[in-house]
Amino acid sequence: MALREGDTALVTGGTSGIGLAVAENLAAAGNKVFLVARDGDRVADTVERLAKEDHAVAGTTCDVRDADDIRRAVAEANEFGDVDVLVNNAGRSGGGITAQLSDELWDDVVATNLTSVFRMTREVLTSGMSDRGWGRVISIASTAGKQGVVYGAPYSASKHGVVGFTKALGNELAATGITVNAVCPGYVETPMAEGIRAGHAAHFGVTTDDVRRKFESKIPMGRYSTPEEVAGLVGYLTTPSANSITSQALNVCGGLGNF
């Protein structure tokens, strides 16, 4: 259920994978949803489809690496409805042999996965959430934000940063009525996961099916999680039952990471 009637959720990267599942989940629970992504056509298509399902939804383009774009997008979201729930989902993969990584790759992964979380959160807090004294900030991190991933140093470092940011800000805001949490997926079946499998297959000279089997063998449940399962935890964190949950990094990973 929605936490409060009329709550508005801003979801970044809301047209694909986990972000799309989160937008669908929150809309179905009765929240107004404002979604952003870089591809304007996909934003329009997603908004149109959800609106046809009688959901209160709107959206705009936003490159979360761009501070001006973030300010504009948050202003548009607040015009749609005061943003009470922020879901920082936009992100990218990235890695390789660490000694051979370019500055450009490192900088882009960190800008997309970590700096955007700070900037988006700051903008939502300062544009009304702090004044209202209630809110939810939920960032999609990763189990890679709790342990190192071989050939994934930029991604792992950025997601560790999201976890650290969440814990610090959650404690800072604990007495304000605003909770701050991270959701940490393991292997999730998304377009990003397909790209990661393709990258590993090319690097090691094997098939993508070989990579899938290798990854699945690490997961106690023996399968990838679904975007809907991740979205379910995000949705729970917006409900009254989650009022006392803050500064946490919660796994959705089929037992992959019991830490």
Report, as residue numbers or ranges, the catalytic residues.
155
Q: In angstroms, rounded to a whole number, what is the distance separating the alpha carbons of residues 131 and 189?
A: 38
CA distances from 81 to 20, 76, 124, 147, 184 (A): 19, 9, 12, 38, 28
Radius of gyration of the chain from its Cα atoms, rounded to whole angstroms: 18
- Residue 73: its H or E element: helix 67-80
The residues pairing with 57 across neighbouring beta strands, listed in sequence order, are: 33
The residues pairing with 59 across neighbouring beta strands, listed in sequence order, are: 35
The answer to whether 22 and 16 have CB atoms below 8 angstroms apart is: no
Q: In angstroms, rounded to a whole number, what is the distance separating the alpha carbons of residues 199 and 96?
A: 9
The answer to whether 148 and 156 have CB atoms below 8 angstroms apart is: yes
Q: What is the separation of C-alpha 67 from the centre of its chain, rounded to a whole number of angstroms?
A: 18
- Residue 200: its H or E element: helix 191-204
